[in-house]
Structure 1
Amino acid sequence: MKLKLVSAIWLLAALNLQAQAPAAAKEPVAPAAPSAPVLTLKAVTDRADALYKTGEAATLTIEAQQDGKPISGKVTCVFSKDGLQPQPAQTLELKEGKATITGKLDEPGFLQLRVTSGKTTALAAAGYDPLLLKPSMPVPDDFDAFWQAQKAALAQVPLKPVLTPVEKAPKGVEAFDVQIECLGKPVSGYFGRPQGAKPKSLPAILHVHGAGVRSANLGAVSWALNEGGMLSMDINAHGLPNGKPKEYYDALAAGELKDYRIEGAKDREKIYFKGMFLRLIRAIDFLTAQPEWDGKTLIVYGASQGGFQAFAAAGLDARVSFICAGVPAGCDHTGSQANRISGWPKIVPNDASGKPDPEALQASRYFDNMNFATRAKCKGAVVTVGFIDTTCPPTSVYAAYNALTIPKEMHTDVLTGHASTPAASKFMQAAALKHVRENKGK
């Protein structure tokens, strides 16, 4: 496991600069108003890797500065179980800008500390035996039958790919806008291959998107030049036309696709992600049908919702040889059943009393990374996690990661929320290219 340094986060107050424009030519310009004082909070665990055994005490040091200088005053501290079950708030007195607080967790998971002073907040987290987190619910008995039926229906739809050449491609790459028939909306993306590639000579990589509404990314075809040549495809998550003006996608995000993350949540046949995952399989159909594909190397690469798709691809399609899943969404939808937090898309709503909707709870089990992970047969997986991620909380990510039975590696960013840090991106890219190199010799 790769570990980063200190568990801390800096959150800065807004500068709120104001300047008054001159009233007329040659009149003196009013001086800019002084900037508001900048309050900085920092929370640090007493272990560099922020990892503990259950029941061990974690001591966190809090630092507060105003314009770079230690300040006195009070801060409010709240411990929680990765955002759930907040403990009573504690008020600490700062001495020369510092205070310490101690907490612990008596079960596998994450102890989160939220520190506030006015409108400024800092987060820190300590991981407690996260590799011991178990599934919150078992895999449904008919999980495989459900997905086999979906794939059988998809197989009845001819591919019928339409490739339109793209002029603005990297030198040495043939690039195309690709539209492929699927159940419901088509697969829509950009596809690139090296010019003059020989049959059965190239590995393939499929890039998948995080949450939101946007075009496929033409820049991803540059992967076609890596490691002596690759087939590279990037698909948008919604089967939309590519290359439209920003206003086109913004209108869809505010309208038809505004709440897609929870669409059909109570019915496994209507959950929005069913169509998204079938488009994944259809994209793999296309890539593996290319005469240049080497017949053995197919990587699925994405972060957040893209990480969700990477897990799903590994669990649903044996042609996938490796996945890279950064801060993955779609983990532990049923976490409530183990008194744990779940990750985005928060597909299971709670009623007024806090109980999860029973229909959504059951439907979500067919779209949970924990369950996809148990079906993954690829040669390996890499996953990244942020210890203070409140969108895809680390508790949920580890629940899915632990369910993988294949060779795997986790990159941890103890400083990070929901983001792919440069170190995390480098880790995933290096792992993907290493897999390509290793597979070439087999």
Structure 2
Amino acid sequence: MIRCLLFSLVSLSLYAETAPKPTLILHAVTDRPEALYQIGETVRFDISVQQADKPAQGEVLCSFSKDGVEPKRTEKIQLKDGKASVTGTLDEPGFLQLRVSLPDHPEFALAGAGFNPEQIKPSLPVPEDFDAFWDKQKTALAEVAMKSELTPLPTTVPGIDAFDVQVSCLGAPVSGYYGRPQNAKPKSYPAILFVHGAGVGGSSLGALPWATREGGMLSLDINAHGLPNGQPKEFYDEQEKGPLNGYRFQGRDDREQCYFKGMFLRVIRAIDFLTAQPEWDGKTVIIYGGSQGGFQAFAAAGLDDRVTFFCAGVPAGCDHTGIVASRINGWPKLVLVTDGKADEKGLQAARYFDNVNFASRAKCRGAAVTVGFIDTVCPPTSVYAAYNAIGVPKTIFTMPLTGHKSSPEASQFLTDAALAHVRAMKEAQ
């Protein structure tokens, strides 16, 4: 199932750093609002340019690419009353990206068109020892006794108890904020785990209100790095400059040393904690995250059968090995590419941390994913490669004119999907 939402046209309003100059606004949009086409069909991109609130004159530079990678085509189009059109197509499943700019100007606008994106396949198959590798990691984690420390927290959310939670794990601990309904009864509540996007910081108190939803939930928000919570900004800045500087590339050419191995094991240990709570209903576990959090959500669903539903907004970690199929890969760009050639060690290591492979292992009851057609951080080609590999009921929310962000509508889609799953699991009792 595909749901589509239209947003206002991509626009850039730019000003000179010194004396004010006329504002330049560029728009680019496909002739179909849903921006979806069959392979070989022609898409028309309609362009408009305004300068000083008047239609601009002259030429625009139109650059086509396969979602940001070669082959690329560039042509100049003459504006007429500030408007122009240009056409293009793809002869394979994927996304055609248009970049519109003015000669000698740095400003640009993007538009994207999908050509049978539901047919995009993973660039490489699942490694033969993928399951054995992760079974080994989970066995090592299980050998670490789970010890949790809960420190009560003040909260303005009525009807819940809140805690700072630290849970033992391999390496850094699980560090989060945990909320549960007051006077919680045993075996009564579903569990939801929130995981973070890229960056360095503590856990978020924003997930605590989820403990009051749908009759009550066990809500846990964990930071990505096992750092202490509630520290001054300077503490996290120092971590980012120091041991976590460039963390996404740490160990990128060795599956045993890859930074994301520890991150994913912390997610599994967080599930250990939630499912060990006497108030857990014994059956419902939801993972919810965006970008790097979407990466963790895919990984959790693929590695842990206790997960019953996952929500992944504009997910990172998709199709790292896209270069072997002449396609773009998503953040964190694990594979080092030099002169068009991938580092072989990094290429092979990345396969064990790829959403396309986690997706194929997911046994949950459902999934909800969002994708932006002009997302240059987690490009739609990579997201669809992972989404298409999900073998359980799933829904994708498409945003034709949106980049790497979570719009209110997209967030509502994921929220609604998570709550609908909670209701469905209760009705299944």
TM-score bracket, normalised by the shorter chain, equals over 0.9
Q: Runs of 4 or more off by more than 2 Å in structure 1?
A: 4-8
For normalisation by structure 2, the TM-score amounts to 0.97
CA shift at 1:12, angstroms?
1.4
Q: Deviations over 1:304-331 (max 9, x none)?
A: 0000000000000000000000000000
Is contact 1:44–1:61 with CA below 8 Å preserved after alignment? Answer: yes
Cα distance in 1 for partners of 2:122, 2:201 equals 33
Is contact 2:35–2:113 with CA below 8 Å preserved after alignment? Answer: yes
Cα distance in 1 for partners of 2:312, 2:25 equals 32
Q: Deviations over 1:214-245 (max 9, x none)?
A: 11001211110001100000000000000001
CA shift at 1:197, angstroms?
1.1
1:123 aligns with 2:124: no
2:263 counterpart (276, 292, 317): 276
Secondary structure class of the residue paired with 1:417 = coil
Cα distance in 2 for partners of 1:440, 1:87 equals 51
Name the residue aligned to 2:207. 220
CA shift at 1:6, angstroms?
6.7
Name the residue aligned to 1:65. 50
1:378 aligns with 2:364: yes
Name the residue aligned to 2:190. 203
CA shift at 1:168, angstroms?
2.8
CA shift at 1:15, angstroms?
6.4
- CA gap 1:337/1:7 in 2 versus in 1, 3 angstroms: farther
Counterparts in 2 of 1:119-198, with a 5 A limit? 119-198=106-185
- Higher-Rg structure is 1
1:40 aligns with 2:41: no
Percentage of pairs with the same residue = 63
CA shift at 1:383, angstroms?
0.2
Equivalenced residues, count: 425
Name the residue aligned to 1:437. 423
1:343 aligns with 2:344: no
CA shift at 1:119, angstroms?
2.2
Cα distance in 2 for partners of 1:7, 1:83 equals 22
Is contact 1:7–1:414 with CA below 8 Å preserved after alignment? Answer: no
Supply the RMSD in Å over aligned alpha carbons. 1.2
Point out where structure 1 has 5 or more consecutive residues left out of the alignment: 19-32
Secondary structure class of the residue paired with 1:63 = strand
Query: Comparing 35-44 with 326-335, which one deviates more in the overlay?
Result: 35-44
CA shift at 1:89, angstroms?
1.8
1:77 aligns with 2:78: no
Q: Deviations over 1:136-186 (max 9, x none)?
A: 100000000000010011001111100000013412110000000000000
Query: Comparing 104-113 with 64-73, which one deviates more in the overlay?
Result: 64-73
Name the residue aligned to 1:22. none
Is contact 2:7–2:402 with CA below 8 Å preserved after alignment? Answer: no
Name the residue aligned to 2:216. 229
Secondary structure class of the residue paired with 2:237 = helix
1:286 aligns with 2:287: no
Is contact 2:7–2:399 with CA below 8 Å preserved after alignment? Answer: no
Is contact 1:7–1:48 with CA below 8 Å preserved after alignment? Answer: no
2:312 counterpart (307, 321, 325): 325
Counterparts in 2 of 1:277-316, with a 5 A limit? 277-316=264-303
Q: Deviations over 1:393-431 (max 9, x none)?
A: 000000000000000000000110000111100000000
1:12 aligns with 2:13: yes
1:395 counterpart (370, 373, 381): 381
CA shift at 1:247, angstroms?
1.1
Cα distance in 2 for partners of 1:219, 1:91 equals 48
Cα distance in 2 for partners of 1:97, 1:350 equals 39
Is contact 1:77–1:91 with CA below 8 Å preserved after alignment? Answer: yes
1:163 aligned partner, one-letter code: L
1:99 aligned partner, one-letter code: A
Query: Comparing 2-11 with 134-143, which one deviates more in the overlay?
Result: 2-11
Q: Deviations over 1:368-398 (max 9, x none)?
A: 0000000000000000000000000000000
Is contact 1:6–1:47 with CA below 8 Å preserved after alignment? Answer: no
Q: Deviations over 1:39-87 (max 9, x none)?
A: 0000011111100011111111110011322111111110000000152
Cα distance in 2 for partners of 1:321, 1:74 equals 53
Secondary structure class of the residue paired with 1:344 = coil
Cα distance in 2 for partners of 1:285, 1:334 equals 31
Name the residue aligned to 1:248. 235
Secondary structure class of the residue paired with 2:332 = coil
1:428 counterpart (392, 414, 425): 414
Is contact 1:208–1:236 with CA below 8 Å preserved after alignment? Answer: yes
2:397 aligned partner, one-letter code: H
1:404 aligns with 2:365: no
Point out where structure 2 has 5 or more consecutive residues left out of the alignment: none
Is contact 1:164–1:176 with CA below 8 Å preserved after alignment? Answer: yes
Cα distance in 2 for partners of 1:183, 1:120 equals 46
1:111 aligned partner, one-letter code: L
Is contact 1:72–1:94 with CA below 8 Å preserved after alignment? Answer: yes
CA shift at 1:256, angstroms?
1.6
For normalisation by structure 1, the TM-score amounts to 0.94
Cα distance in 1 for partners of 2:137, 2:364 equals 21
1:364 aligns with 2:365: no
Secondary structure class of the residue paired with 2:352 = helix
Is contact 2:65–2:73 with CA below 8 Å preserved after alignment? Answer: no
Is contact 1:6–1:44 with CA below 8 Å preserved after alignment? Answer: no
CA shift at 1:7, angstroms?
8.4
1:104 aligns with 2:83: no
Is contact 1:7–1:49 with CA below 8 Å preserved after alignment? Answer: no
Cα distance in 2 for partners of 1:247, 1:56 equals 53
Cα distance in 2 for partners of 1:85, 1:12 equals 29
Is contact 1:314–1:323 with CA below 8 Å preserved after alignment? Answer: yes
Cα distance in 2 for partners of 1:300, 1:6 equals 27
